[in-house]
A and B are shown apart, each in its own frame.
Chain A
Amino acid sequence: MRKWLRRLCNAIFTARLDRELERELRFHITERTEELHVAGMPAEAAARLARNQFGNYTAQIERTRNMDIAESLHATLRNVRLSLRALAHSPAFSVTVVLTLALGIGANTAVFSAINSVLLRPLPFPNSDRIVSIAQIQDKTPQPHIAPVRLEDWNRMSHAFEAISGYYTQDDTELSGDLPEKLTHAFVAPRFLEVWGVTPQLGRDFNVDEEHYGGPNSLLISDRYWRQRFGGSPDAVGKTLRLGQASFTIVGVMPVSMAFAQRDVDLWSVSPPDFPYARSRDLTWFLGMGRLKPGVTVAQARADLAIVQADLARRFPKPDAEIRADIEPLKEQTIGNVRESLWVVFGSVTLLLLIACVNIAALLLSRAAGRQHEIAVRFSLGASRASVAAQLLTEVLLLALAGGGLGLGLAAAATRVFRALARDLPRVDEIALDWRMVVYALICAVAAALACGLVPAIVGTRRNLAGLLASSARTQVSGRRQARFVLVGVQVALAVTLLAGAGLLLRSFQALGRAAAGFDPDHVLTFRISASWGETGNLKASGQTVKRLLAAVAAVPGVESSAATFSVPGVPLTFPVELNVVEGRAKSEPRIIAESRIGSAGFFATMHIPLVAGEMCPEESNTPGMMVNRSFAKTYFGGDGVIGKHLGHPSSIYFPVALVRGIVGDARERGLDHEPVPTIYYCGLIMQPGLYFLARTHGDPMKLAETIRRKLHEVDPARSVYDISPLNAHLSDAFAENRLRTVLMTFFALTAISLACIGLYGTLSYLVNLRQREVGLRLALGAVPVQIMRQFLGQGMRVSLLGCLAGLGLAAAFTRLLATMLFGVSPWDVITMTGVIALVIAVSTAASLLPAARAAKIEPMRVLRDE
């Protein structure tokens, strides 16, 4: 290894080597001169003789030097020089190849960088694979929040965790600045930073006093807020913020990496476990997370918590007997279902790179054909096949490296676009160009060079030399066109695969737009109003608050009706619950499981969800009521029988018993791409953080935004109104990932088919050139131009048809991977496939037509004269 390094040094720093050699040789001559002189020769004659005996001085140095530079290295350098010269001779070819590869490698690297950052790289915390999220499962529903007292029990009693902690957030209004400012405020259980394994970048963690009820109010602030509000000044620690009625002292600044588990948190403060409300085993509010001890698996931790919870169930049968704990690695939870999307996009972009390589291979084949003569001459001068092939490969490698370098630049730009396009992608902020990308692009370039250079290098150097030299360049029909057409066919097949995938995604997207939502998303404004959990203590007052705010909104001219809800209809969210029927239900009947929603009485009128049977919930009522949708009534009660029944859990806070008032139409509550499922709607809610307010307007909803905001300020100046957007924007955001995937796939597929067509065009053109003389001869002998044209066109069409067939086979495998991402179309959609084939045939006809027409226009006289 060291030896090679030294040789490389020698090869690069030849000047130093030369100096050393010269010293060595000069010494030799001096010694010889002296010897001759001592033997009696005059000094001058001795010097001349010594020099003469030595021979050509410069040549000696050169020959000796070559021994110091490894022969193979030397050959490589020579290859590089030769290749550069050859490439400079055909700039159009070189630029085409470099650009094609830059596009392929760039796109590939960009997508890989997303995969690397989002899927492969661990979360930015020490030993982040040990961080898990913990949920409490109750009422047979994944109601993830945990009672503070139970969280403390789990932390104390379990053996699998270094620490268990939790948090919840609410919106707060900060009042110490010039203007009230809405901030996201996280309340955390003790040990929060211990779980993440981070320390504040400035200041300190919460201390024991602050973790007790009645202790000082202290805050950690986010890096973002620190820079924005305090300009990143260290003086921020010790400053006071005013949140509602209370003052908080800033004790530290969180590190940048604290973008988990929720990205938009500005402030953290302690929610003391000895807070009076926190003693209840029924009141739950923490989203839990924990850090496993080293070497403990998720399964072991799950088992450990199950034992702990069983113990708690014996001590506190009510409610702990009905509660279980569930654990999931935090990374899994963060990434969610983005994984599939990213891999599909990566698969497509890799197919694209493959097409680019095949395309270049075809280009190289024609180039090798054009250089047959040059290659033959080199063979006849004694070059070995390996050395000629090595030189051809070197050319491709140089092009690929240039393409890779350019591609890397492209990828850097693309990641920026990606970040802008996919704002909601988890961990999208972490996507950036790093050394891994550089290595990846390099590997891509080398792989591409081998993929597209190997075949031409082997085929291009496999010839009967004597025959070639003798026949000059006038081969009639090249035997190599087989290989070229195979390459074109492969490109068409891959392009068909990509087009089929893109087509299906596009059709799903279309279908999504056409799907009957069951509600009317147009002309609806959504917004939020700040609230705190403290208000929820007084149920009656906070229920009145909602009604007062809704009435104020409804009174704004131009507003048709208003409502409040926990979830925006059509935005994916699941909240399943298993329900009991108070009136009784036969054991043989299936269990009742339904999606649950909560809305104000005006929800259905505002969303234009029609009443099917029974009556709507009244505005004012002393008994809790609920509405069910049509599929709920049909699935579990066979129709209207459900009206008047009481459903729910007698002891549950979240799913209390309520009277079914009526049946409403099915709406795609869980997302436009999901069929409506049996759903219940609790009527009436209280003011609390996280509510959405909806206002149906006569005209453009955004036009009323300011009016509504001002009106609410009049009614309740202490609250801020924020997050104002039309309902349609929510729906479109919900499909941002879907849209990104579709846009990218379509872009890749169109690039692929363009490349395939260029390949087809190039190959046919080449063939026409090659057969000029033959065509001329046939025309001279009376062939009709149309015949000639038909022949070439037919050749092109045959290749693309065979490519289509192969492509359909590939597409069958590829689209099956897409199955879960499709909506309203089957992975084997006839319309899509027909459309793809029609498109491919149309463009490949166009691509074949030009060379075919050129063939038909050959002038026999000119061609024959050229002979």
Chain B
Amino acid sequence: MKKNDILQGTLMLLILKTLAAQKCMHGYAITAHIHIVSDQLLRVEEGSLYPALHRMEQAGWVRAEWGMTEKNREARFYSLTPLGRRQLAQEEESWARLTSGVGKVLRYA
């Protein structure tokens, strides 16, 4: 595992969070956003991003629409659905539990 790889479940959390902040974004913007906001620590692999986006679309967490970028290119824009918002809350909570748990173990050891 390369050090900037992101676990599958974590990737969804990141995408959800990103979309929650911004109204609607295309796939490239999502990678860029994560890359920048994480101070270039995290890089989303394209090979994971699109399958994840499409799976989330099928699950009903995000909605996708074709639209134009400011550079006048055709792109597929994703936005969060109410269901996705609820999912985000859940995943944030479980993430917090996981990190605190892992942290405790690490501190103890």
Contact = CB atoms under 8 A, between A and B. Distances in A.
B28 to A, nearest CB: 4
Contact of A24 (B27, B47, B58): B27
A27 B54 contact: no
Q: Name the residue among A25, A27, A30, A32 with the largest chain B CB count within 10 angstroms.
A: A27
B18 to A, nearest CB: 16
Given A24-B75, A28-B28, A67 B47 contact: no
Contacts, number: 59
Contacts of B50: 21, 24-25, 28, 60, 63-64
B58 A28 contact: no
Q: Which bracket fits the contact residues of B?
A: 10 to 19
Given A24-B76, A30-B73, A68 B54 contact: yes
B46 A27 contact: no
B5 interface: no
Contact of B46 (A20, A28, A68): A28
Interface string B46-66: 110011111101101000000
A67 B28 contact: no
A53 to B, nearest CB: 7
A66 B51 CA distance: 8
B58 A67 contact: yes
A67 B54 contact: yes
A7 interface: yes
Interface string A518-539: 0000000000000000000000
Interface string B15-54: 0000000000011100000000000000001110011111
A23 interface: yes
Contacts of B47: 54-56, 59-60, 63
A68 B50 CA distance: 11
A585 interface: no
Which of B27, B46, B55, B60: most chain A CB closer than 10 A? B46
Given A3-B60, A24-B50, A68-B54, A31 B74 contact: no
A7 B46 contact: no
A165 B47 CA distance: 81
Interface string A58-76: 0110011111101000000
A28 B51 contact: no
Contacts of A28: 27-28, 46, 50
A125 to B, nearest CB: 50
Contacts of A20: 76
B10 to A, nearest CB: 18
A23 B74 contact: yes
A27 B58 contact: no
Q: Name the prevailing secondary structure of the B interface residues.
A: helix
Interface string B77-101: 0000000000000000000000000
A32 B31 CA distance: 10
Given A3-B60, A64-B50, A27 B26 contact: yes
Contacts of A27: 26-28, 73-76
B46 A31 contact: no
Interface string A23-64: 111011011100000000000000000000111100110011
Nearest to A66: B51
A68 B58 contact: yes
Nearest to B48: A63
Nearest to B26: A27
Contacts of B46: 25, 28, 53-55, 60
Nearest to B47: A55
A21 B64 CA distance: 12
Nearest to A50: B46
Nearest to B49: A28
B96 to A, nearest CB: 27
B27 A67 contact: no
A310 B98 CA distance: 90
B23 to A, nearest CB: 19
Interface in A436-481: none
B73 A64 contact: no
A25 B51 CA distance: 11
Contact of B58 (A3, A53, A56): A3
B51 A64 contact: yes
Contacts of B74: 23, 27
A545 to B, nearest CB: 88
Interface in A155-186: none
Interface in A54-100: 54-56, 59-60, 63-68, 70
Counting chain B CB atoms within 10 Å of each CB, which of A3, A30, A64 scores highest?
Answer: A64
Contacts of A24: 27, 50, 75-76
Contacts of B58: 3, 7, 67-68, 70
A194 to B, nearest CB: 58
B75 A67 contact: no
A853 B104 CA distance: 77
Given A54-B46, A55-B46, A67 B55 contact: yes
B30 to A, nearest CB: 10
Contacts of A53: 46
A30 B74 CA distance: 11
Q: Which of B47, B57, B74 has the most CB of A within 10 A?
A: B47
A361 B57 CA distance: 43
Interface string A366-388: 00000000000000000000000
A618 B103 CA distance: 123
A54 B27 CA distance: 13
Nearest to B60: A3
B28 A32 contact: yes
B108 to A, nearest CB: 37
A64 B74 CA distance: 19
A417 to B, nearest CB: 51
B28 A63 contact: no
A64 B54 contact: yes
A54 B52 CA distance: 15
A658 B76 CA distance: 102
A55 B55 CA distance: 20
Interface-centre pick from B28, B45, B73 (highest chain A CB count, 10 A): B28
Contacts of A68: 54, 57-58
Contacts of A64: 50-51, 53-54
A240 B89 CA distance: 87
A380 B84 CA distance: 39
Interface of B: 26-28, 45-47, 50-55, 57-58, 60, 73-76
4 closest cross-chain pairs (CB), A and B? A67-B54, A67-B55, A31-B28, A64-B50
14 contacts: A23-B74, A24-B50, A27-B27, A28-B50, A32-B28, A54-B47, A55-B45, A60-B46, A60-B47, A60-B51, A63-B47, A64-B54, A67-B54, A67-B57
Given A55-B45, A60-B46, A66-B51, 15 more contacts: A3-B60, A27-B27, A27-B74, A32-B28, A54-B47, A55-B47, A56-B47, A60-B51, A64-B50, A64-B53, A64-B54, A67-B51, A67-B54, A68-B57, A70-B58
